[in-house]
Amino acid sequence: MTRPVPAGFTLIELLIVVVIIGLLATIAIPKFSSSRDKALVTSMKSDLRNLLTQQESRLADSGSYATSFPTTIWRPTTGVTGPTIALTADGWTASVGHLSSTKTCSIFVGTTPLAPATKEGVPTCTP
């Protein structure tokens, strides 16, 4: 009595499946990379908006802006570096970066812009 040979995939069929998976991966990986970078930029912009709110609150309370805040009052999101805050004649400037990105974002209040920010109170990031 002979046993039937178990059905399986041929080497060609397996190779075709591997090639298709490879093609899908080359399409998907850049999309995920772009999404990740957008998320990092969003967290930096959010931190600068929160810093703006904190600075305006400080101005209302004490009549001046601050160059730093205790972590109990304000702190950046995990991975965000900075902020580097500088007082100007009529306001302040600040910039942040991220450990996982080469992009930086900045914001300013007053008449002294800090590149790449060009509009007062609007966080802007490098391209």
- Residue 83's SS3 state is strand
Note whether residue 19 is domain-resident.
no
Query: How far from chain centre, in Å, is Cα 9?
Result: 45
Note whether residue 80 is domain-resident.
yes
Note whether residue 15 is domain-resident.
no
Pairing of strands 101-109, 124-125: antiparallel
Report whether 121 contacts 109 (CB < 8 A): yes
- Residue 66, by phi and psi: left (phi above 0), alpha (psi -120 to 50) or beta? beta
- Considering its fold, how many domains does the chain have in total? 1
Residue-number span of the structural domain to which 45 is assigned: 41-125
pTM of the predicted model, to two decimals? 0.76
pLDDT in tens, 43-82: 999 999 999 999 999 999 999 999 999 989 889 999 999 9
DSSP state letter for 87: E
Note whether residue 32 is domain-resident.
no
